[in-house]
Amino acid sequence: MTRNEAEKRISELRKAIAYHSELYYNNDAPEISDYEYDMMYKELLELEAQYPELDREASPTHRVGGTASDKFKKVRHPVKMGSLSDVFSFEEISAFVEKVKSALAEIGEKKVEFTVEPKIDGLSVGLTYENGAFSLGATRGGGEEGEDVTANLLTVKSIPKAIPDSLSITVRGEVYMPKSEFERLNLEKEEAGEKLWANPRNAAAGSLRQLDSAITAKRGLDIFVFNHQIGDLWADGRAPETHSETISRMGELGFHVIDLLAVTDDTEKILEAVRALGEARESLPNDIDGAVIKVNSLRQRELLGETTNTPKWAIAYKYPPEEKETKLLDITVQVGRTGVLTPTAELSPVRLAGTSVSRATLHNIDIIRQRDIRIGDTVVVRKAGDIIPEVVRSVSEKRDGTEVPFSFPECCPSCGGKLVFDAQGDDGEIREEGAIRCINAACPAQLERRITHFASKPTMAIDGMGPRTVKLLLEAGIISDVADIYSIKKEEVADLPGMGELSADNLLSAIERSKTRGAAKLLFALGVRHIGEAASEAIARSFGGILPMFDATEEDFLRVEDVGEIMAKTLCEFFALPETRALIERLADSGVALEEEKVEIETTLEGKTFVLTGTLTSFTRSEATERLKAKGAKVAGSVSKKTSFVVAGEAAGSKLDRANELGIPVLTEEQLKEILDN
């Protein structure tokens, strides 16, 4: 790889890592697996080591975790909450052990013990006690500053509200969601028609970051405390000598500590302990994503020291994504609410990542052909960050000749309607691997999923109207489209299997509340192709409601920020349909609100694109973004030649460097305030 190629690749990796870090740490909504993220991070570390002149202080490799959210009060940690260096092979573990032993031997330390413990897959927090009383709980955030989530942590039953001897200490732990709670929550979400949590880690992080602690209390969170950070653990000031002694003492004080702790000075036994933890992952009540190897002696840790972000006395071995073989019994085809047909593998049940898996996505016909997957095959499945596992490949050497190649149906399996090949995705992008789509608007499978989407939490938020209830209502002939929801009678619902009067009352109350959701939620609920939640909100606010959209042209829709030509064309076609007008009139007659507060946009900054970087002190980044948009400006997430201005706050990073490279004007926060105020 040449230096120019390395520079280009480093830039690509930094952008990708920053994007996925934001999703993982701050939004609790990952798009890729931990393993894929780790591999990108490792590649960036190696390239920066190979080309030190290309290393930058603003690189993701010099930061810890995410950032503290503006939703919560920010607090500074008494001791920096760093992260561990990751390794991915037993050879790297052995090299770490030998390096530590060699470094300590040079200063006369002949015996070195190590601990091996599970790496809990959760959210790292610090717990502070003053005179024995729990006084502060904070997320790790960026390592030096986190979010004050004390009220939410008080709902975690295994966190002691007071500890003996009136001690003043800070300890560190990992909040997690037990597998059983995760499965229970996702079952509830599925029934309510809500988006499922990706994995227990993100469920735990999202639950701990609730603004309403009553919601957190219902999520069944737990914690393992694994480190003592500051303060005396004994009232007489006695100090522990080893990490294992610290863990034992914290357990005596009432903290929930890890009991799967191995202590040894032998490299082979360390590897055996790591291997044993990996084999036990499935049987554990909580997710682990690795094993942590630490020097046991606290004195030896001080001798070894730390780098800027990571200690030299500990590493984390990350387990690869779990893959298992099972039998592919059949391939069925599901019809989505936009008519896309998705092939799904029906599997002989197999335990994978702590849950029983009997179905897995096959994405589309192209994937099936490329991977030569046949009905009856032995296949490899994995759960790499997604709720629905995927079929990775077939094990062709285990075929016995009875396997059958899969052919897509010639007509829709739900309605028998015509199927078409469509290379345009639901987001409007054109793809090489296209979708096969049913174009019958009256397709029953599409109808069921459209109504489920209409009632889901992000749209009209009709509690109790999940997929099961929608199916019952359709089968009973009570509803045939979304407008029928507002004509449902109590006695009709109460007579349905598994419902009753109480469920009927609750459902009707939720339907009544949904009438006030507003035009933005309604537009998203209508399921217009290519129009997502953010676009629906921007469009509804721009037009002030649904009715003006019937008279809008493509040019009118294009004036809304981030609405492209495909979206504008789709909206015009949708609102030109007589069925759409009839549906909206029926919803209006039922009392469903069609209005949205219209946001008047000034044009003083029209045509200007701003990029914000660093920390702003006078207002939050979201406030600055809203004020810029209110003056007609566009706010982008990355710097390009089209950028008009870059606003640089404190600790501005790579975006500032890029602006200087391109010669783009850089504004201070004070200059931004002048622009906004004038």
Tokens of 103: 């470094």
Q: Which helix (H) or strand (E) holds 405?
A: strand 404-405
N residues, the chain: 678
Q: Which residues contact 582 (CB under 8 A, 6 or more apart)?
A: none
**Cα separations in angstroms, 179 against 33, 166, 217, 384:** 18, 34, 17, 16
The sign of the dihedral angle between the CA atoms of 192, 196, 199, 204 is negative
- Eight-class DSSP state of 107: T
CB 381 within 8 A of CB 367: no
Please check whether residue 568 is in contact with residue 557, taking contact to mean a CB–CB distance below 8 angstroms: yes
Rounded-to-integer distance, Cα 451 and Cα 467, Å: 9
The token pair at 137 is 């709980």
592 Cβ contact partners less than 8 Å away, ≥ 6 residues apart: 486, 514, 515, 522
Query: Residue written as tokens 């049987």?
Result: 283
CB atoms within 10 A of CB 297: 21
User: H-type helices in 314-410, by residue range?
Assistant: 365-370
d(CA 335, CA 502): 33
Given its phi and psi angles, is residue 538 left (phi above 0), alpha (psi -120 to 50 degrees) or beta? Answer: alpha
Rounded distance between C-alpha atoms, residue 130 and residue 620, angstroms: 31
Q: List CB contacts of 583: < 8 A, sequence separation 6 or more.
A: 481, 482, 483, 526
Spot the catalytic one: 101, 119, 383, 655.
Answer: 119
Is residue 489 among the annotated active site residues? Answer: no
The SS3 assignment for 596 reads coil
E strand or H helix at 190, and its extent? helix 179-191
Active-site residue numbers?
Answer: 119
